[in-house]
Amino acid sequence: MSEPAEPTSLQDGGSRGSAEGGPAVTMLHKHLICPICHEVFNKPVVILPCQHNLCRKCANQLYQARTTMTVNSGHFRCPSCRQEVVLDRHGVYGLQRNLLVESIIDIYNQEISNNISCVPSPVSPDQPLRCSIHKTERVNIYCLTCGLLTCSLCKVFGAHQSCQVAPLSHICQQKKDELHDHVASLTELNHKIQSVIKQLEDTCASVTVMTQQLKSEQEEKTSRIQALMRCYENHVEANRKLLEQASHSIKEEDLVTFVQSSRELIAKVTEASHRLPPESLEPAAERLTEYRYNFSRQERALRSISFHK
């Protein structure tokens, strides 16, 4: 019994379940055809070492046919690439099942049974995101290699066959955790900044009160200084007049007149020379030390904030 012939194209044979709908389903249908029975794969589907797929039933028929021709040969050739497949003592039952292809077959059969059109429609906010290549496929995996959202068909048959992928749910949780960490860091930074703002507001209020006190004291001291200036000026003016009177008296040539007026004049000059001057002024900045403010606490708080989270 000879080996089955090479698979014919879909257009040459009539396969059951031919794709109904748009070109996307037709393309998917072509990828799901078994090269032995020329129909959509029947589960279970096994994957050969060369990465081609067969219905396990068809693989077993091929193996049995080969064994009949050559007793206990334990091998056959892949009908797609002609690469030799060596089996163990379990035969085709030792081949690994391709669960991903089986899942795609379920999706395909469901779409065919529901007669869903594969013509893509505009995506509304309520509709799931679709693959840009396989228009009717939902985006359900994330390509870690390319950093892109994609679908299962892209992983099995498309551009991401050799890429490392992860379930969308895992990536979603990972991104949520990452965002949560950044939000927590930003919230903590905000609390620190709010604390510094409160300290600065308190400092500003204290400086405002201190400024008002200084202004009030400035006005008080200015008024006092001006009063003292007037007092000094009056004192100097009185002494000037007394000095003029004494100078005029000294020039008096009439001895009797001089003697008569000298007694009173001497008493006035003596009293003026011993009269205490007005109270002395306090040093201008003597009390300003009361209003010194220490900003070191606010400086430390500002320096403790890091804006490179």
Same domain, 5 and 107: yes
Tell whether 210 and 106 lie within a shared domain: no
CATH of the domain at 35: 3.30.40.10
From the list 116, 139, 82, 107, the residue with the least C-alpha distance to 28 is 107
Same domain, 114 and 5: yes
In a domain, 195, yes or no: no
In the chain, what percentage of residues exceed pLDDT 70? 73
Let me know if residue 180 belongs to a domain.
no
Window from 31-35, 180-184, 288-292 with minimum mean pLDDT: 288-292
Are residue 2 and residue 113 in the same domain, yes or no? yes
* Range(s) of the domain holding residue 71: 1-119
Question: Per the domain annotation, does 149 fall within a domain?
Answer: no
Range 125-133, long-range pairs (CB < 8 A, 24+ positions) = 133/158, 133/159
* Tens-place pLDDT, residues 1-50: 334 433 332 223 334 344 444 555 667 777 888 888 888 898 899 999 99
| pLDDT at residue 193 in the model | 92
Residues 3 and 111 in one domain: yes
Domain boundary among 119, 139, 165: 119
pLDDT of residue 3: 40
Question: What 3-state class would DSSP assign to 137?
Answer: coil
Using a cut of 0.95, tell me whether the model's pTM lies above it: no
- Confidence category of residue 295, pLDDT binned at 50, 70, 90: low
Please state, in angstroms and rounded to a whole number, the distance separating the CA atoms of residues 112 and 105. Answer: 10
* Gap between the Cα atoms of 222 and 230, Å rounded: 12
Q: How many domains does the chain have?
A: 2
Domain boundary among 119, 136, 160: 119
Residues 212 and 114 in one domain: no
Give the separation between CA 35 and CA 77, rounded to whole angstroms: 12
Answer whether residue 198 is part of any domain.
no
By CB neighbour count within 10 A (0-12 exposed, 13-18 middle, 19+ buried), where does 63 fall? buried
Per-residue model confidence as pLDDT tens digits over 60-82: 888 777 665 444 567 888 888 98
Q: Which of 126-140, 205-219, 272-286 has the lowest mean pLDDT?
A: 272-286
| Same domain assignment for residues 114 and 211 | no
| pLDDT score for 299 | 63
Residue where a domain stops, chosen among 89, 104, 119: 119
Looking at residue 159, what is its pLDDT?
81
For 237-289, what is each residue's pLDDT tens digit? 888 888 888 888 888 777 777 777 777 888 888 887 777 665 554 554 455 45
Q: Say how far apart CA 231 and CA 166 lie, in whole Å.
A: 95
Q: Is residue 65 part of a domain?
A: yes
